[in-house]
Amino acid sequence: MEKLLIGLICLFSLSAIAQDSLYVYKTKGIVLQGKLNDRTRIEKGALILPVTRIELQPQASLEAINKKGDLFSTTDPGVYSQAMLLKRKSKTYPQNLTANYFKYIWSELLNAQKAPTQLGGVFRGNSLMQFPKDSTQITSSHIELRWQEEALTDNYFVFIRETGSEDYLKMETNGDRLVLYENPFFEAGKSYQWAVTTEAFPNLNNLQFVSFSIITKEQYSKLKEELVAQLQSTELNKLSKNELQILLCENYNLCN
Amino acid sequence: MASQNSSILWFTDALWCTIFTCVISVLLAYLFVNISILDPFTKAFQDFEFTDVYYAHNFYNKQPEPEIVVVNVEHADRFAIAQALQKISEFSPKAVGVDLLFKERKADFLDESLKTALSQTPNLVKAAYFEDGKLQKSHSYFQVPEEETGFINFNLDGESRVVRDFLGYYENEEQQEPSFAGQLAVVAGYISESQLQENFNTTIPVKYTGGADSFLTLSIDEVLDRDDLNVLENSVVLLGYTGTPTGNPYDVEDKHFTPLNSQFAGRSIPDTYGVYIHASILQNLKSGSGFTKTPVWLSRAIAFLFCYLSILLGMYIYKKNAVAFDLSSKLLQLLIPVIILYLALMLMDAQIYLNVLTAVVLVILGLECIDFYIYLQEFIRKRYPWKSYLLD
């Protein structure tokens, strides 16, 4: 009788695990599993159990699949349990065939889908750096560096130097961004150069550096006023303060 | 009474004009096939189907498959493949498919390792292929007693380079052979051998569910390095090539054209690795949710009907106002095919596959033929009495 009871309990618990079991289907960026002081990277095909604790770092994403083929995904940084993931079911079916089809026909009629221009060559030594762009003026106390991720590369090496100096600040990181908060390496009024590479020990003479300078809040306000006056666009007045800041940063390399 | 006679004449004339259109289209098709200078058109139409837009523009249901796992062997040597097979076997998968052919022997140690691993892998299905009508397998050294094989050819009839259909079981007077995916489905227990032989011995459209995105893909290094591969338990594992590194868009080895190609007409590069096509076929067999293909006679009958209705409408407009017909015929030639394609996509959504290329061609040609039909009637009326809806 006892054996039968134990057998039944085992059977029920097994079926419960089978129903809820999730597997990692796809990951992007840094996705960790385990306890706080014993974390490892979670990889494709790994089983996510009810006790599994998953941590998504910024810019990371995770897609998990259950045995029925339902997908569960998250892109928000944070800590997740299996139960939390199960609440994030993704929709895979196209919303409406009729609407999608006639939208497609309409775009074809308007010739909205033009083929992209073709380049007859290959890229070698493509610059990964995205922000700050060359000759950017930054006023913020935290410097954010962003770059383009390369396929199949996890680790990136960031090199920063003061313009004209040979002293480098070197950092290794995962992902596609790095933020430096009130770092003593930087001083207002000085100009710096940065580069990112996938090599730990590159030939620094051959690295392509991008320059940016740190300015004070007062300098920023003055430059902003000058730039807005120079542009003489009535459209600028319609923008909110935040929108104007983004526009000046993205198009005129003046960033707050 | 006059009105009734006119209506009968209208229906009769439309029928004659439809037959006239069909004759013209057959003559044109004959010219395209037999005149070498028009070969590019023939080839373009061989590889083209309007319904490819269903996949190319993402109107279809993308369904990931948790039970089929693809292992990319990249350019690993035979020893690494042998180790991977042994590692995979530890997790007791339902079936293991090796979409690789070992045509010749290499080094003794490597070959011996691989042979041992192949013979020790339970529920193994090996790849074979038809060449000049004969079934070819890996080198005899790698063949084991009572091994299961399946052919890996797509488009055995050689009619198109785009993989739209699959044949589950091939048989003629001399030989019988299951397809690779078909044999895997049998070994995995998704279908019985008799079901494969009886229900899948004619070509059936492949229902793609996303290609590479639908299947969990592990590289051979991941299989060898990791121990947490519980995902392989009770799965069907397919060993094949999916680029170096995995998914490399510039690698075209064993890559094929499928309707998933976003460039569904004109020049493009192949889009899907062969192992994913086998995996998609296997998924169809597992779920039993493939397409029902309408027979050729039915698709031609539907094409005839659409052509007839278009001509009926065209003649009605012509009778009312010849100028309006000239203006509207081009619009109709655009609108009616758009509607036909829409209906075909709706049918595909309901798992029914209808080839609408003939219908679209006949509708466009039919509306164009109304003018020629009028000239023909005028020619006939000069010699013989002939009642006409359009001319009387």
Pick from B349, B238, B365, B344: which is nearest to B298 by CA?
B344
Cβ contact, residue pair B216, A65, below 8 Å? yes
Asked whether the beta carbons of B150 and B135 are under 8 A apart, the reply is no
pLDDT of residue B363: 95
Query: How confident is the model over B286-305, as pLDDT tens digits?
Result: 998 778 888 889 999 999 99
User: Is residue B193 exposed (0-12), middle (13-18) or buried (19+ Cβ within 10 Å)?
Assistant: middle
CB atoms under 10 Å from CB of B270, counted, come to 17
CB contact under 8 A, A45 and B69: yes
DSSP E strands in A29-138: the ranges are 31-35, 38-41, 47-48, 54-56, 61-66, 71-74, 78-80, 129-131, 136-138
DSSP letter, residue A143: E
Nearest residue in chain A measured CA to CA from B67: A67
ipTM value greater than 0.90: no
A126, A166 contact by CB (below 8 A): no
B265 contact residues in A (CB cutoff 8 A): none
- Can you list the alpha helix ranges (DSSP code H) found in B121-226? 180-188, 193-199, 220-225
pLDDT of residue A40: 86
Tokens describing residue A34: 């385990």
B62 touches A: beta carbon within 8 Å:
yes
- What's the whole-number mean pLDDT along residues A68-88? 90
Strand-pairing partners, residue B69, are B216, B237
pLDDT bin (cut points 50, 70, 90) of residue A93 is: low
**What is the pairing mode between strands B169-171 and B176-178?**
antiparallel
Please report how many Cα atoms fall inside a 13 Å half-sphere around the Cα of residue B291, on the Cβ side.
Answer: 29
Distance from CA of A31 to the nearest CA of B (A): 16
Band of pLDDT at residue A12, cut at 50, 70 and 90: very low
Reduced to 3 states (helix: H, G, I; strand: E, B; else coil), residue B329 is helix
Is B231 in contact with A94 (Cβ distance < 8 A)?
no
| Highest mean pLDDT: which range of A60-69, A208-217, A239-248, B178-187 | B178-187
CB contact under 8 A, B231 and A46: yes
If pLDDT is split at 50, 70 and 90, which confidence band does A38 have?
A: confident
Report, as an integer, the average pLDDT of A111-117: 69
Q: What phi and psi values does residue A243 have, to the nearest 5 degrees? A: -65, -40
Of B60, B62, B216, nearest to A25 by CB-CB distance is: B216
Question: Quick check: B221 pLDDT over 50?
Answer: yes
At position B365, the amino acid (one-letter code) is: L
Three-state SS for B167? coil
Q: What pLDDT does A14 receive?
A: 45
Interface test with A, best of B51, B230, B283 (most A CBs within 10 A): B230
Contact list, B65 vs chain A (CB under 8 Å)? 69
Q: What is the pLDDT of residues B4-15, one digit of tens each?
A: 777 888 999 999
Min Cα distance B216 → chain A (Å) is 6
Do residues B162 and B258 touch, judged by C-beta distance below 8 A? yes
Question: Which of the residue ranges A148-152, B247-251, B387-391 would you say has the lowest mean pLDDT?
Answer: A148-152
Task: Give the chain B residue whose CA is nearest to the CA of A49.
Answer: B230
In this model, does residue B44 exceed pLDDT 70?
no
The rounded distance, in Å, linking the Cα atoms of B270 and B279 is 17
Phi, psi dihedral angles at A72 (to 5 degrees): -130, 130
Q: What is the mean pLDDT of residues B156-170?
A: 86
Of B62, B226, B342, the CB nearest to A101: B342
DSSP letter string, B88-126 = HHTT--SEEEE-----S---HHHHHHHHHHHHH-TTEEE
B64/A94 Cβ within 8 A: no
Cβ A98–B342 below 8 Å, yes or no? yes
| Chain-chain contact of B245 with A151 (C-beta, under 8 angstroms) | yes
The nearest CA of chain A is from the CA of B289 a distance in Å of 14
**Tokens representing residue B280 in the block:** 């998609």
Query: What SS3 class is residue A55?
Result: strand
